[in-house]
């Protein structure tokens, strides 16, 4: 049978309330509310508490463990994983920018951009990584021209453009 962990909260209720009001992150506010509800006179079961806060019971157990072992600062620190290494180097960024602006030899799609990056820089990049990077930094899109009508008369277009 599991050992019942009693959580002794060191901070007073008013300090936690102030901290909760001044916090901007919803995730931090939820953790502070967890402490406030644990500190309150009305006792809630772990299941009721998880439903009330809309988090899993395992998250509540993890928060309680971190709080009891390391304190409030460590519990309120939200870590979002490590720093991702840059796949697209600044040199590749400049080359892509120049290639996208070159109208005489354009890239005809993201697959061609992948091949171009591999030949120019000798580095394999995943399709979705390159596509997302190009959309985010350069606003690129796959543009497909509309079909032209088979009865379209090119001479009529020239006459139409010459009219004032």
Model confidence over 90-124: pLDDT tens digits? 999 999 999 988 878 888 889 999 999 999 999 99
pLDDT in tens, 137-153: 998 887 766 777 777 78
The closest alpha carbon to 138, from 94, 104, 87, belongs to 94
Region 65-75: what's the mean pLDDT? 90
What percentage of the chain reaches a pLDDT higher than 90?
43
Where do we find the tokens 């988090």?
A: 55
pLDDT at position 92 is: 93
pLDDT at position 85 is: 72
Where do we find the tokens 């796959």?
A: 142
Instruction: Kindly state the tokens that stand for 159.
Output: 């006459």
Q: At what angle do helices 46-53 and 57-70 cross, to 10 degrees?
A: 100
Region 8-33: what's the mean pLDDT? 90
Region 37-54: what's the mean pLDDT? 87
DSSP 39: H
Give CA–CA dist 122/90, Å, rounded: 15
pLDDT at position 4 is: 60
Instruction: Kindly state the tokens that stand for 62.
Output: 């993890």
Instruction: Kindly state the tokens that stand for 22.
Output: 């001044």
Is the per-residue pLDDT at 1 higher than 70?
no
Region 6-35: what's the mean pLDDT? 89
Give CA–CA dist 88/50, Å, rounded: 41
Q: Which of 19-23, 40-44, 55-59, 94-98 is predicted with the least confidence, judged by mean pLDDT?
A: 40-44
* 39, burial (CB in 10 Å: exposed 0-12, middle 13-18, buried 19+): middle
Q: What CA–CA distances, in Å, run from 35 to 12, 112, 154?
A: 10, 54, 75
The domains of the chain are located at 13-76, 83-164
Region 158-164: what's the mean pLDDT? 73
């Amino acid at each position: 049978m599991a050992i019942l962990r009693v959580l002794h909260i060191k901070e007073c209720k008013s300090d936690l309330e102030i901290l909760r009001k001044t916090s901007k992150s919803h995730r931090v506010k939820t953790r502070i509310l967890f402490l406030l509800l644990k500190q309150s006179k009305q006792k809630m079961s772990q299941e009721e508490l998880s439903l009330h806060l809309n988090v899993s019971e395992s998250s509540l157990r993890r928060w309680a463990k971190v709080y009891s072992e390391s304190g409030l600062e460590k519990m309120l620190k939200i870590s979002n994983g490590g720093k991702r290494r840059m796949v697209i180097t600044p040199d590749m960024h400049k080359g892509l920018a120049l290639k996208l602006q070159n109208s005489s030899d354009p890239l005809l799609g993201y697959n061609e951009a992948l091949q171009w990056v591999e030949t120019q820089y000798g580095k394999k990049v995943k399709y979705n990584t390159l596509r997302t990077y190009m959309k985010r930094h350069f606003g690129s899109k796959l543009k497909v021209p509309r079909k032209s009508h088979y009865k379209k008369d090119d001479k009529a277009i020239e006459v139409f453009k010459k009219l004032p």
